[in-house]
Amino acid sequence: MKKKLLFSPLGLTAIAITLLFGVLVISLIPSLRIDLTEDRLYSLSEGTLSILSSLNEPIELMFFYSDSATEDVPQLRTYGNRVQELLREIVIASEGNLSLRVIDPEPFSEEEDLATQYGVRAVPVTQGGEGVYFGLVAAKGGADLPDPLRATETMPLIRPDQEEFLEYEFMKIITQVSNPERTVIGLVTQLDIDGGFDPMTGQGTQQWMIMDLVRQLYDVRRIDVSSDSIEEDVDILMIVHPQGLSDRFLYAIDQHILRGGDALLFLDPNADSMVGRSPQGNLIPAGMSSELPGLLDAWGLEFDNSKVLTDNELALRVMMGQGQRAVPHLAMLGVQGNFLTQGDIITNRLETINLSSVGAISQSNEGSLSFEPLIISSSDAMLMDRSFVENVTDPNALFDEFESENRSFVIAARLSGLTETAFPEGQPPIPVTEEESGSDDADGEVSVAGETAGEVDVVNEESEIVHLNASLEPTNIVVFADSDLLTDRLWVQVTQFFGQRIPQPFANNGDLVINAMDNLSGGADLSSIRSRGRYSRPFTKVLTLQREADDRLRQEESELSARVAETESALAELNTDEEGNPIGEITPEIQTEIDRFNRELIETRRRLREVRFQLTEDIEQLGSNLKAVNTALVPILLTLFFLGRYYFRSRRYTFS
């Protein structure tokens, strides 16, 4: 009896009311979310949640959005709503650490002055149109703190092409304002990247332009490769073309990574920047390649420094001499955007990366770090012996040896996660010289292999050295199989203007390096935030209708243009005499042609309107059908489900 009552019309009505009540209750609980979208557009990443949970001071988000100025720009208004939805999700997840204020900077208002104060500028959407504010400011300390005392970070313009990376960009400025201290970059290299001395000219050389850019944004600290340790306040190691590093310094790098430090690594099978010249001016190949013995194996990275990558599709054209034509150089590559991972913030939106005598990297079977390619070659590529490539003076000779391997190679990649030490026995001992070979060990130093991460393994009389066998927290290592991409000659022309060096980039090498540092400087949590899907979902059926209508419109317009040309030609002939001179008065023949032209013009325009009207009708009908399906399908399916369940239960009780 109770079951029959449940599935009666009154019971079904009660169920519907209960469901409606449940929806209302859920809508009043903002922290409860169920994301059923394909790309989980409304679900925050674990990295974002981790950053939000670590905030220890209130931060106010001020979204400057010209609501009134975008009333006639539906695409921008829709995007503005998406931005606000994501910001509100972040604020809800912060559990009170973040607050959101949406500000509409009307012209000549205090809100407009506030936007200007924080560096948010109005951008005209249409030529000659009203400027639109669309920026975000993160201010530390809460809204009650006076503005001059608040630490702030500004995103002056939230561009629509940033949609996939909005979560990353928002969390980046939140991270920067919560930790305002500049990131420390530890530079490890033996190249003259900071400037040096040219023995051929007898003059000093300036630092590479990439270091000018890096020093503007970060605190760069040169690390002595002869030392035995790396300071713990170093956030990112920038290791450029490592060679001949001592075991004790390699151990210091190893421990930096295990402590959760990040690294930006530039390997190279043949660094062109180390090529010198003889007194006669001839090129002398350096014949030196990068090496990090033990560390690459521990990180699960394979790099053959005896091979140079050549690519027939990506080969740059180079001038071999003044007045000679440019020829393709298989070992000098111009990598275009379709070979850059667009789903990673480091390489997204970049167009061209120029490289020279690059290598190839891959993941080994032993590695525990995840391996994500950032730059790849084309499939028309081959690995050649370094010794052959570095001795080639005519690029055409490379074609004689080139035979495509029909596969792509990885030029740059991101390694992330937890790893183990390359020195399980602890810090290597200090090398003993011949003079000291007969004496006791220096300072009584003893090495003992640790059993767990964080255990004290090496002890001397002055201090304790903590040896880690495994990562304390996830690390990020961005690896490039080329160091020459940093040199000025591959990406920038530098001019002097009143003593200032003015860069004029012709490739995105500098953007690539800065993007990598920006990404790593946020720590493992920020680096783990990947691109989101796009909110906009194109209706393929609508696009098909629009394309068909466009084709019809173009055909009608083409016919109209042809008829206009024919009529004008006929009118010109009728309006001239036999000698080609214009006739002063309109003859009946000319008037007849003009009337015919006007009738055809009106008829053609009517057909154009019909095509446009039919397009609108088709799209509206499609939209009505979709609304009907979305509105009625779910209730119908639920009703059929309950009726079917009731029917089968009734039959079961009847037969029983």
Which residues in the chain are classed under CATH 3.40.30.10?
43-178
Residue 498 confidence (pLDDT) above 70: no
Strand intervals (E) in 322-452: 326-336, 352-356, 361-363, 370-376, 381-385, 410-417, 446-447
More confident residue, 634 or 125: 125
- Cα 248 to chain centroid distance, Å, stands at 36
How confident is the model at residue 54, as a pLDDT? Answer: 86
189 strand-pairing partners: 240
Mean of the pLDDT values across residues 403-430? 95
Query: What are the pLDDT digits (tens) for 321-336?
Result: 665 667 899 999 999 9
> Which of the four pLDDT bands, split at 50, 70 and 90, describes residue 452?
very low
Tell me which H or E stretch contains 179: none
Residue 369 confidence (pLDDT) above 70: yes
Residue 366 confidence (pLDDT) above 50: yes
Mean of the pLDDT values across residues 228-251? 94
How confident is the model at residue 140, as a pLDDT? Answer: 86
More confident residue, 646 or 225: 225
- Alpha-carbon distance 207 to 578, whole Å? 79
What six digits make up the tokens of 628?
């009907």
In three state form, how does the secondary structure of 333-352 look?
Answer: EEEEHHHECCCCCCCCCCCE
More confident residue, 571 or 595: 595
Mean of the pLDDT values across residues 414-432? 91
CATH topology of domain 43-178: Glutaredoxin (3.40.30)
Residue 541 confidence (pLDDT) above 70: no
Query: What are the pLDDT digits (tens) for 279-299?
Result: 333 344 444 789 999 999 999
- Alpha-carbon distance 310 to 603, whole Å? 62
How confident is the model at residue 534, as a pLDDT? Answer: 47
Query: What are the pLDDT digits (tens) for 115-149?
Result: 999 999 888 876 666 789 999 999 987 555 545 55
How confident is the model at residue 536, as a pLDDT? Answer: 44
203 strand-pairing partners: 198
- Alpha-carbon distance 152 to 369, whole Å? 35
- Alpha-carbon distance 638 to 627, whole Å? 18
Q: Please say whether the beta carbons of 385 and 392 come within 8 A.
A: no
The single-letter DSSP state of residue 510 is H
How confident is the model at residue 74, as a pLDDT? Answer: 80
Mean of the pLDDT values across residues 525-548? 56
- Residue 542 burial (C-beta neighbours within 10 Å; 0-12, 13-18, 19+): middle
Reference 611, options 526, 549, 568, 533; nearest CA is 549
- Alpha-carbon distance 512 to 518, whole Å? 10
The single-letter DSSP state of residue 15 is H
267 in the Ramachandran plot: left (φ > 0), alpha (ψ -120 to 50) or beta? beta
Q: What is the reported pTM?
A: 0.66
Q: Please say whether the beta carbons of 426 and 466 come within 8 A.
A: no
Query: What are the pLDDT digits (tens) for 597-626?
Result: 777 767 766 766 666 566 566 656 666 666
Amino acid at 30: P
More confident residue, 189 or 577: 189
Give the torsion through C-alpha atoms of 603, 604, 605, 610, to 10 deg: 90
In three state form, how does the secondary structure of 608-633 look?
Answer: HHHHHHHHHHHHHHHHHHHHHHHHHH
Residue 345 confidence (pLDDT) above 90: no
Neighbouring CB atoms inside 10 A of 417's CB total 18
The mean of the pLDDT values for the chain is 79
How confident is the model at residue 457, as a pLDDT? Answer: 45
Q: Are strands 500-505 and 492-497 parallel, antiparallel or unpaired?
A: antiparallel
User: For the ranges 18-32, 260-274, 286-300, which has the lowest average pLDDT?
Assistant: 18-32
The single-letter DSSP state of residue 431 is P
- Alpha-carbon distance 54 to 64, whole Å? 26
Q: Are strands 315-319 and 326-336 parallel, antiparallel or unpaired?
A: antiparallel
Q: Please say whether the beta carbons of 408 and 374 come within 8 A.
A: no
> Which of the four pLDDT bands, split at 50, 70 and 90, describes residue 502?
confident
How confident is the model at residue 287, as a pLDDT? Answer: 47
> Which of the four pLDDT bands, split at 50, 70 and 90, describes residue 412?
very high
Residue 58 confidence (pLDDT) above 50: yes
Residue 451 confidence (pLDDT) above 60: no
Which percentage of the chain shows pLDDT scores above 90? Answer: 37
Alpha helices, DSSP H, located in 137-267: 166-178, 209-217, 247-258
> Which of the four pLDDT bands, split at 50, 70 and 90, describes residue 553?
low
In the block, tokens 């399908």 appear at 633
How confident is the model at residue 532, as a pLDDT? Answer: 53
How confident is the model at residue 591, as a pLDDT? Answer: 73
Residue 444 confidence (pLDDT) above 60: no
